[in-house]
Structure 1
């Protein structure tokens, strides 16, 4: 499932399957920028298709930044795609708005676009989900350089009534004895119709050792559910500071997670920083971890999708990457 572009960095991604076709949506930015750190404020969403997960046809940009002043005025970031009960495809994605060139200050908003065929997408200006008090840190709090509110992942309520949105967020209030950096939580919003969203309390507590829990995915492997997320070494907090980050997994009961009672501190690391933004994907050989190649020799950014790596549950009930087991 390796995917790369000759003149652009490729990083976060998500997929949708329609019949025999795999649809890959990915963030990319031109290497002509020179500095890979600039990719975030120049990202757009591309689209490629495959029937075997090996050979890909690239279809170019499907969503780009909006007009000045819009929630996605700077860039379009990570999201997810699902087909609603009417048959319409919905892409929930992150809009990024930077304050000024060279300024790290950034406000993130979760937005939506719709499509009949996964190729042509139309932004829906009526859907804009933003971070807000009382639960979530905002830019006005002055505790972080950005208003973190990104990477939406949508799941159906286990009871079949409504939908849950999981996202990367940071808690506004933390206990006095918690590292001020240690605010990363799984944000939460609920909806009956995928259009009108109500914020809810986060699904995890701050103080778990993560400044942010990026690209969350709640999925099933065999007969067990797992919450996957990413946090690199530079953003570990509390008693995790100084250890190695990467992609993390937490075996969960979905009901417990959606009730906010899962213990994210118990998550274990399944890769190092060399791979990031991991998603579980289905392959002909079974479930596998797909991520983008993040850091290479000397810590240089790579920016392409890696080959999928088979995953399985070990004897302790922990998710591991086949032949790539990493000690936590």
Structure 2
């Protein structure tokens, strides 16, 4: 098990539990009572730790190396899945995966960022940072869904769009802007969920939908806490203060009206019970699709555009001339 810094008290308890089980196994001793006591301690300590997480701690959880990624959720949620590749312009971006899936008998186009489960795969997937061809591939799949009347499901988990020179040369900003323009007008239901990191345009590039959700221990912001800290304080040492100031948690996003709901995670985070998390995510996605599927395409598009038009707060300030 991998323990984050704020989970260190749990690590020592798990070590004790493992030692007791080993003693019982090697010495043929009944340690069931001691095991139960320690398991109860672990459960109570876990509740204590996770009942009041800070913004930075939730950022750490969203990046947990054992946290499930898009392909895991697709495998768990879809009985059948056929991956489709390429943007038909340049290449196949491995940082975004997508294709046709069967969600309890309903065909959907499901796509999302994929970070990779180990060092080699993370390099192969470019750590979930998509190039322009990734967003163009996503748009191609969405247009395919529109042609055949399939709902679109987008799973968001990226530290941002790839910032390399070659990505800019191939039109990174235009590709993301084009996706936003086209997603606003898709005639089929679009459901989005932030399953990990939701950073900057890399996230919003596949994040405009009729319903947008966030898992409980995820974040959504125009910039990461580290980058914000380096800009404002010229150092990464203030990332915790930056995380609080950015108000990037699911609770904040729901309060601001940017997302439509929060999907609770199992105690300890999505990585502690990935199968259960997949079931919870699937249930919410199916519910969201059902809510908007019976609307006419025109009504759905109008509601989607109105939803985004109403995000944000402004205050009219009287000028001296107006007075």
Higher relative contact order structure (alpha carbons within 8 Å, sequence separation ≥ 6):
2
User: Do both proteins adopt the same fold according to a TM-score greater than 0.5, normalized to the shorter chain?
Assistant: no
Structure having the higher Rg: 2
Structure number with higher helix proportion? 2
Q: TM-score, normalised by structure 1?
A: 0.29
Q: TM-score, normalised by structure 2?
A: 0.29
Structure number with higher strand proportion? 1
